[in-house]
Each structure stands twice: as C-alpha cells, then as structure tokens.
Structure 1
Amino acid sequence: MNRWICQFMPVLFALMAWADAEALRLSELGRPDLAELGTELSELRRARRTAVRARAEVAETTEMLVKFRARERVLSLTVDAGAAAQAVEVLSARNDVEFAEANRRLQRQLVPSDPLYANQWHHATIGSSPAWEWGTGSADVKIAIVDLPFNLDHPDLAANAVRGWDVVNEAPVYEGNDDHASMSAGMAAAVVGNGTGIAGAGNCTLVPVKNTSGLTSDIVDMDAAIRWCADNGIRVVNLSWDGAYSDVLNLAAQYLRETADGVVVMAGVNGVGLLDYTNQPYIIAVSMTDGDDRLQSHYGPHIDFSAPGYQVYSTTAAGYGTGSGTSYAAPLVSGVLATLFSISPALAADDAIAILKATATDLGAPGWDPQFGWGRIEFGHAAWLAAAAGGGANLGRQAFEPTDSGLWVSAEFHPGLAYVLMGATNLNPSVWSAVASPVQTNGATVGFSVEPAADAAFYKVVGELDFQ
C-alpha cells in the first residue's frame, strides 16, 4: 500500500488579512523611518467602521502589527499578502522592533447548537470543539456499526444514517431499535449542529451491519461483517463486542486495511483486571476512562488507546440516556478516526492511527502501557495534525527575541511534528537550509538559540510531520 504521508513532510502555512493602504515592499522594511509609516490600531479600526470594502477570498495585502521599542502602542504596516511570512522575519530581526505578527482573523471555538451537548462531558475531555474548527465530518466517510441495527429513524441519527446489510440472513437493513447499537451510533456520529439532542464525533455516514439475531455473535459472522464493509468501501468498522484477541478477526481487519484503507475498532471489554489477550496489529482495541481520566475497564496487551465511555450521554433507540462501557468508548474512537479522514481525505489509515498515537494524552507509564495503550485520545490535537497533513493548518506565531549570545527563535509546539531551524542569507526560497541548533521545548513552545552569522541573516522554524 502506498503511504500518502511520508515520515517527514513540510507543513505549509499562510497568514492572511486585508488592508486599504498601499503595500510596502520587503526591501522597504529596512527603512530607518519605518515607524513613521505605521498606522495606530485605533485609527485603523475607525477607518474600517466608516469604509465599505469588498473582501476577496484571498486578500492581496496583509496588515503587519509591529511593536517598535520606542513606541508605546502597536502600529500597523501593510505588505503584500504573499510576503507576510518573510515580513515577520525581516521586521522581527530589526533592533528597534520588539515583536511583529500578521493581523489574522481569529476563530471562536465551535460549540454546536445541539441542546443536550452540555450533558456530554466527553467532548470537553477529548477536545472536540477545537477539532471541529478543522471539519465536522463528511458523508463520504462511512462508519459501520456492527451490531443489532440501531434506530435509523432517530431524529439525531437519521440525517447521517443509510440502509445497511444483515450478514446473517443476507438481506438489507432498513430499520432498527436496539439501544446498545443506538448509543454506539450516537457516540460516533449523531448529527453535529442540527439543533437537536446531542453531537457525535462528526457528521459521517452511519451504516448498520447486522451480525447477530440476539445478544451473542459468532466470530464467523463478525468476520463476514468486516469483509462486507471492506468490499463496500467502508473505512471505519466499529465492533462493540469482545474478540479483539481473535486471529480470524485480525485477518479480516487486515483485509479491510488493504482493500478499503480502513480500520477496525473494538471494545476493550468491561470489567476489572488484566486480560491476557494478544495484541492484534490490525485491530484497534479501546479501554474505557471516566471524567477524571481514570481506567474503568479491563486492561491488557490488546489495548491500543483509551477513550471516555463511563457514564457518557448518547442517543438511545427511543431518545437519549446515559450508559457506561467500552462499547461506547470504541465508537467514540471510530467517530474521531472517520472525522480525521474527512478533514484530510487522502489520509492513509496507518497515518491516521499514527496521528492518534502522536497526539494522545499519556495517562499511564510513558509510551504504551496495557491500561491506556498509547493514551487517551485527544481529538483537538489529532484534527490539527490531520489538517496539517493536508496543508490546512499552520505553525502559529513565530517569535524572534534578541539574547546576550545572539537570537532566540521560537514557534508554537504541536505533538506529532519534528521542528527544524532554517536559515538563509536572503528571502529566496531556494537558498534556505537547516541550521545546526538543538531544539528546546517546554511543552507549549519550541525554540532554537542561534548566534547570527554572515551566512544566515534570516531564520524560520519549520515543522515536519513525524509519526515515528
């Protein structure tokens, strides 16, 4: 299988804004009287209130916000939009400038209109709101709920649900009323932002796949369900059942990975204590956490991730209710994976899993452990990294600060990125090269200490995707 994302891939970023003033060229940013060309921010805002302006989809100019050391207030300077990143570097390198940044339009964290959203503590825990800033899902990505059929007509599921398949009787599925499956479906993909009930992880398509006529299911029927999903292009298959140890199901999950570039997610099993299960490489098994990130289920070698599932609020067959179980932690992970595929459609299954590993909150022993796997999923960070993989995210503000020995260059820290300091003698993109300086981080920012030399007058921090 060809992997779309290499081990290292540059993250591209752009800073966009708009202004009326004539743009300054990069060569003019070295003028000694530059501060005299600036506009007070209060004047800028007054001009905006009284002017009618057409906002282009991609602006031609950018407002640079600059704090000159000799001035009390920040001033605005206008540059060409395409030169914004270079302008930050040029301005920040001036001795008379304390800091410079582009005037960007900030976004409010998305809070869906679903009236019962406040009952879903798990969204705040995993960072759903910041994740949805990058995308709330796509109908093109399908999640199979392998179980008795959920209620396809539920007002909070119907818009995301399509008919499915009964692998036991080899017949279409048009309806259902099972509570267990309906809660699972709601955790994964109850409609986000429809003004009704709750919100799932994302607005992806829910497909009921019936693998049983009661409360038990044979492995052969689960195998058939996974293989039917693979043959029908379903990328995420949720099995809220025991069986993550099964070699047969792992082989079926491998078939899904190779056929549909998909992922099988399974429950880690309710209860207390160790289960000495085999960790199957193609099955993602999920343990359950509560609102305080404590383990509330069995654990063992089979666990890959943990997720909220204890006393969570979701859809039921006839309405809404609270339930506990790895059966609900697993579909939350399924919904997160499906939303990552929606944010970055070319994202490979292996890379989506690697993103979850890189961004998970490590709750147990450092690295993988049998209680929490690679950690409790962190949807917000994972969505950012998925967007970065598709070229849609940025590194945030970069800062340049003079020190006694030279210059401190820093940027925001994001898990899943390896950071490199680049330097150049001019702003021609072809002449940038890596600068030998060890990266330092405090968990919020990364930085490099560098002594400016004649062969590197300009600096920038570059983030490269690193899933290893």
Structure 2
Amino acid sequence: MAARPLLFALVLFAPFCDAVESLRITQLQRCGDLLEEQRLSYCLSVRGIEEGPLEVLLGEQRLASDTVQREGASLRLTLPVNTPSAALHLEQGKRRSNPVWLSSGRSQVLAAGPDEVEKNSDGLTSYRDLVGLLIEEKHEGLAEARRLAEKYQAQVVGAIPPLNFYQLRIPAKNLLERDALILRIGSETSVDAVVVEESAPEKGEEAERNASVRQSGQDEWIANRAADAVHFYRHAEGLLPAGKAPTPLRIGVIERDLDFDAPDFSAYLGACHPQGRTCVYGRDASRADGHGSTVAGILAANWGEGGNSGFLQALDDVGPGFEVIVERNSDAGISANIAASVNLVEDGARILNWSWGIHRIGTRDVEGDEVDSLVRSGIAMSGYEELLEEFFLWLRREHPEVVVINSAGNGAAHSGADEYRLPSSFVTDQLLVVGGHQRNPRSKGSVEDPDYVSRRDSSNLDMRVDVMAAACVRASTAEAGKRGEVHCGTSYATPLVSAVVAAMLSINPQLRPEELRMLLRRSAMTIGGDFEAVDAEDLTAPILPSERAYQLDHPDVGRSARLDMRKALELARQSRDRVR
C-alpha cells in the first residue's frame, strides 16, 4: 500500500520528463553592418535553449567560445571574413538542433520591419524607406552607391555585389516622399533601375487561386513514373560515372523554413555527411504542413514516415549524395530571393528551385478575368524585371552550368507574358519552367495515354512552359504514419522536376542546362489533345519533330510535354555513354 502513492507520482511526473523541448534554430541571418569587410556577424534565434554549456558547430569545426555571444534565446556569432560557407548546428547535452546553412556570401539585404511599411494605392504593403539600386556596370557599385547615398542623405545598408545591386535606406517618412526620391535617384545616369519591394497577403509562395483539391496526392506521381525512376536508379548497373569518388550535388531551395519536428525531417537533425546520402539544411518552422516543408519534402522527406516522400532520399546509398539547402536570406521579398540565390550559386549549388513567382496588377487569365494571386504594382514589377535580368546575365556569364527551375504560377494565365508574369516569362537556357497537371478521373487508359492527366485548372500555361508535372502531393504531418492533407499547385510540380534533374546530373555531371531541357522534352510523355498556337492554348511548348527523332508524323508532335522521370534518367545515361 505504501508504494502506491510513489507509483502514482511517477506516472504523473513521466509526461513532464518526456516533454523536454526540442532544440531548434528558427532564424539565422547576417546582422550588424552587412557591408563589414573585416568580420562577419550572424544572429540566431533558438527555441528550446537551456542554461548550461552549448556547443556551436560549423561544418566539422566547433566554434570557440569567444566567437559566440549568448543572450537568452539569441546567439550572435562573430567570424573571420574568410570563413567558408557550411552547415551549422547546435548541441546541448544529448540534444541536437536542425542544421542551417551559414553562407559567408557577400549578398545580404535587409527586410523592413512592421513600422517601416505602408499600404500603397493598390492596397499592397510597400517598403517605405528601403529601396534597391541597380548601378550601371561601368561604375564601381559600392563607391557609386555611397556617393548617391551621401547626395540624397541616405545610407547603404545591403548589397548583392555580383549584380551591382545596393540597398539604401532613404529619408522618407511616407510613400509620397519615397516616390519623389525614387524619381530623383532613378534619373541619375549611373542608376539602371530602382527596385521597390512589395508584399501580398497570400500565405503560400504560390497559393492556388480557387483551388479544388481531390484526395489523391502522392498517387499523382504515377503520371510521372516517379517510382519507376527510383527503381531504375537503384538497380541499373553502371549508372554513376566510374573512375572517381562521386561528389554530392547541392540544390538550393528558396523557401523560408521547414519543420524538423515532423517525422519527414527528424532524421536530418545534427551533423549530416552527404557522401551517399541526402542532407537537409534549413530554419525550423512551427508547422509541419507549411509551404517550405511541402516543397522540401518532395525532394528529401523520409519515405513512409509522415505524409510526404522525398525522391532524392529514396536514392540514398546508391547515389552520390544530395545537399538540399532551404534558404531565403531575409524576408525582403524578391531582393532576398535573389540575394539567397546568388550566395547559393557561389556556394556551389548546381540547381535552384524557385517555387515562387508574381503577377502584375491587371493580369488576365485565360477566361479574361483579372488574376488576384501574388500581384504587384507596375512600379515594383519594372524594378523586379531589371533585377532578374541582371541575375540571369550574371548566371550566364559566371555560372553557365547552373539551372534554375521555376513554377509557372497558379493564376490560370499565360506564363510567358513578360510584362505580367515574373520570373517564368524570361527566355534563357538556364531557366526551366514547370506547369502542373492532375489525374483525369475519366481516363481508363494506361499512363502513356495523353488523356491520363489534364492540366490543373489553376496552372499557368503557354509556350514558355517547358514541361508539366504532378501538381498535387500530400503534405508533411506532425505524427508518424499519418497521411497528410493534399496540397496542390505548380509550387509542388517544380521540385519534382528539380529532383529528377538532380538525379540526371548525378548520372552525367557534364549536362548543360540546354541539354537538360532537351532530354526532359525528348523523354516526355504527352498531355491532352492537340493544341494550336494560334488559339494560345498550348499547355507547354508543343513537342517538335526534332524531339521525336525528326518523325514528322509522330503522334506526340504538337502535343504538350508531361514529365517522364524514368525515361529522363535513361536518356541521361545514354548522353554520358555517347561521350565515352
């Protein structure tokens, strides 16, 4: 009898013993003077940090205590300017945090705080006193930006040096004063363009418009032969290049965060060595079914654990290893997306996954109605277009091996209308554009049947779209073994293409972006019936005779392209073997 109260007390106490809060990094970004040339400062926000010793590991190196300043749940790191970019994580006792990517890249921009934005005449939230300047190439960017800052009583606070882009904090108390200063600064002969940041109320990076969700999800991947591609990769002999140790392939995913407490990602906590396996780095989110978790999960989620399934994770032990870096620099809109992309490319990313895009106010969909998804004003669009143009010019000049894979958008509009849609409207070999399809419930044919799928009603379309892929997937969940809700959109078709492109490059690292597009199109199945360009109803660029061995009467010619992941891997191996 005397033992019963003690047993009762132990039972009550047990849940509290198990409820030790997880150690998670929720923010990591440059802080202090972003233009500092002698040292680098990084600020971290950490959840679950406790009193007692805390170790900070950057790659294989444990940072010295004098480089780490700790205050409550915040850390500040002060590192030499020559510190190499690497994954960083925390250790406290037996607990390990999520690894985040610490980039020592020079491209860093500031996000406006809640007191530094206003609603403009279009009802969009607009930055009041932070603007970006694209300086003409013939000028030394930083010196010219500082000259202009002094002239207009402003301050240079951020930069993307490879693009000659500099962020200024201007002395504007409202949007009227801002616009007046923009006109004056924009008239300077050394200024190519002024970039104004705006944001919109959508929760997701590519929230679907009037989305209707059918409960299918992962089964949609059958239409792209994902499981067949995994089987081929795992069992084909001599698939990877012989003669040297395989190099892990790095993929940059422009997203805010993902949930490392979800079973889909819990295996990626702590240090990760990418040789022969997949590693994921990113800031921790509070929700398992967020946009970043779903996009990253298509690439790397643990199979059968918590809703999503990662294509690259299925190639562990047979592939060269893949590093999936989820990073967005800061919350400074499109400028931050480009800053993060530049740093990731300079850090060795071969693929950039852009599951984002914007429409200009006034964009019309295929029915003639105005698009209200992710819209921006004309002044913002003009600046973004110039910034994106500079990015792709730099990419072609300095990193011609890098490929950007971008969602077509979910406005049911034309993806190639360059005045109304960015960035998918850009025409460059280094940009692949992905639309979204869904299973056709009326089709009774095989997976090769063009009517097996139909275009997702919300997906943007036209000849600028290179290929379509499954738009629907099951999101990650907080509980192991539980099926996630179905999320749909071109955001989720895009990483499916990024995943197979990563696998293709692991088979033949010599493939150039234009060759990747060619192989994806040559291997593609078709979708729907015949579409005439004069009717502007092409779902993708129509398949050409040259993409079907110059057979003019081939039944695929004139139809739109649907991703075939297995065939794409086969063609990647054939392309390597032909060079031998």
- Using structure 2 for the length normalisation, give the TM-score: 0.40
Asked which structure has the greater RCO (Cα within 8 Å, sep 6+), the reply is 1
